[in-house]
Amino acid sequence: MVAPPPPGFSLPEPASLPSRAGGGAAHLAPEGVAAYFRRAGTPGGGAEGLYETGAGTGGRFAGLRLSSAFQPLLYAHSLLPAAHEALLRVEDGQGRALSPADAFARAADAGEMVYLDRLCRMIHVLNFVRQRAPDDDLYLNVHGGHLLGVAGGHGSTFEMLLRHCALSPRRVVLEIIEAGIDDIGHLSEAVDAYRARGYRVAIDDFGCQHSNFDRLWRLSPDIVKLDRSLVVQATLNPRARRMLPRLVELIHELDASVVCEGIETPEQHALAIDAGADLLQGFLYARPAADLFQSRSGLALVGG
């Protein structure tokens, strides 16, 4: 069980964080913010060596540099931005790019994974609020290890950060990949706790691995992001093309919005529109970038 933050929990002001040359985006090294997510009851108020060299963990996260890249989610018919998904970018001490999976693989236990997950969302929020997009929502991924590593009260610690940044939980969509989590009871409790605090919940990559409608009905998400393989198959297989609108209709019956992600071609775009998707995301519209996608006049698709 992960303990809550101690009294006096505080967060750095966005302006106090280092700026990246040119873009002005904040970035963090985990050891530089260890004090902001530390275990309660640690002698001397330290961080149990969680992010520092030596002292228990051997500096597993030391030297990592965390930053954000944002990819827009666009309204299907206007192609105006509705939200931005924050994606993690990681570099090691030599400036070499690491995958998020490589960074999380350094965690020795569920507690370390929870803290690293919180740090990632922290830097995303700081980079989002500095760009002042008052009408757009922020999509954040929640690591499955976080969901299982926290016994209860999901979203309470993160809510402190949001209050500090004057960002309402109602503007935050938490993305969860449900197919990789076997404990549906614990997952359902986590989803209910998040929604009770005002967050919306999106099921990510639905249609891959062991995703199924029984779990979807039980979780009752606000948003379902279809795995890109479904749209790709629809471009190749007439049966899959006929099934895609039916799938979207079933999800709409849950009162959930549908996102078609991974759109890379005008043909995939047209299929997603015809299927009735509410939001679109993919390289066809914009690649992830440190700065938020700012188009306010719609987006013209080449060949679309």
In a domain, 78, yes or no: yes
What pLDDT shows up at residue 39? Answer: 31
Cα–Cα distance, 250 to 228 (Å, whole number): 18
Cα–Cα nearest to 266, from 228, 296, 288, 235 = 235
In a domain, 298, yes or no: no
Three-state secondary-structure class, residue 84: strand
Rounded to the nearest 5 degrees, what angle is found at the Cα of 247, between the Cα atoms of 244 and 249? Answer: 110
In the chain, the DSSP E strands lie at 65-75, 81-91, 97-98, 137-141, 172-176, 200-206, 223-226, 257-260, 279-280
Cα–Cα distance, 9 to 40 (Å, whole number): 10
What is the value of pTM for the model shown?
A: 0.80
Rounded to the nearest 5 degrees, what angle is found at the Cα of 258, between the Cα atoms of 208 and 72? Answer: 95
CATH code (residue 208): 3.20.20.450
In a domain, 36, yes or no: no
What pLDDT shows up at residue 113? Answer: 80
As given in the structure block, the two tokens for residue 294 are 């700012």
In a domain, 30, yes or no: no
In a domain, 131, yes or no: yes
Contacts of 249 (CB under 8 A, 6+ apart): 276
Cα–Cα distance, 196 to 4 (Å, whole number): 19
In a domain, 299, yes or no: no
In a domain, 154, yes or no: yes
What pLDDT shows up at residue 23? Answer: 42
In a domain, 52, yes or no: no
Mean pLDDT, the chain, rounded, equals 77
- What is the domain range of residue 204? 66-280
- If one counts the domains in the chain, the total is 1
Tokens 């913010």 found at:
33
Taking 50 as the pLDDT cut, the residues of the chain under it are 1-24, 28-58, 302-304
As given in the structure block, the two tokens for residue 52 are 């520092």
Contacts of 78 (CB under 8 A, 6+ apart): 298
